[in-house]
Amino acid sequence: MKDTNYRLLNSQLSALMEEEAHYVPLLANASALIYESMDRLNWAGFYLMQDENTLVLGPFQGKTACIHIPVGKGVCGTAVQENRTQLVRNVHDFPGHIACDSASLSEIVVPIHGADGRILGVLDIDSPMEARFSEEDREGLEAFVRTLEKGIVF
């Protein structure tokens, strides 16, 4: 297992943001950057707030995914409801887990905030390996999201 260089990942994201701030191409490239930089993933992408009660699928890398997720349901919906990162060692132990891909075993979801503090969506990353994500990953991915929040235009 290789460690993810989050300093380099954030530097690469910042460079991408200099070229484009619109959320669609930026999130598409951000998901590709994560998917190619982290090992043992089967999905990396974004869900965006469609309205106050629903997340809708955004740019991603990986297998096909659930299109709508209700706030408060699954790992992504819980991250929005609780307004905090969810680091899940085994998704099958998570109450209300939504199985978009039965191969996923662990997951990390980080809320994305607008300048006004409201949640705009989440970064969602899945792995087919149990306990794939660590506290180091949480800190690194939260920093990655803070970088996104500084320059993305929704």
Residue 50 belongs to some domain of the structure: yes
The answer on pLDDT for 73 being more than 80 is yes
pLDDT of residue 148: 95
Average pLDDT value for residue range 53-61: 98
Q: How are strands ordered across the β-sheet holding 119-127?
A: 68-70, 54-62, 43-51, 119-127, 106-113, 86-88
Q: How confident is the model at residue 36 (pLDDT cuts 50, 70, 90)?
A: very high
Residue 104 belongs to some domain of the structure: yes
The answer on pLDDT for 67 being more than 80 is yes
The answer on pLDDT for 109 being more than 90 is yes
pTM: predicted TM-score of the whole model, two decimal places:
0.96
The percentage of the chain sitting over the pLDDT mark of 90, rounded to a whole number, equals 88
Residue 132 belongs to some domain of the structure: yes
Q: How confident is the model at residue 96 (pLDDT cuts 50, 70, 90)?
A: confident
Residue 130 belongs to some domain of the structure: yes
97: left (phi over 0), alpha (psi -120 to 50) or beta: beta
What is the domain-level CATH number for residue 99?
3.30.450.40
pLDDT tens profile 130-145:
999 999 999 999 999 9
pLDDT of residue 1: 61
Q: How confident is the model at residue 100 (pLDDT cuts 50, 70, 90)?
A: confident
Residue 55 belongs to some domain of the structure: yes
* DSSP-derived secondary structure for 128-154: SSTT---HHHHHHHHHHHHHHHHH-B-
Q: Would strands 119-127 and 106-113 be described as parallel, antiparallel, or unpaired?
A: antiparallel
Q: Are 146 and 128 in contact (CB under 8 A)?
A: no
Cβ neighbours, 10 Å, residue 146: 13
pLDDT of residue 74: 96
Q: How many domains does the chain have?
A: 1
| Domain with 116 in it | 6-151
Residue 51 belongs to some domain of the structure: yes
Under DSSP, the state recorded for 52 is T
Q: Are 69 and 78 in contact (CB under 8 A)?
A: no
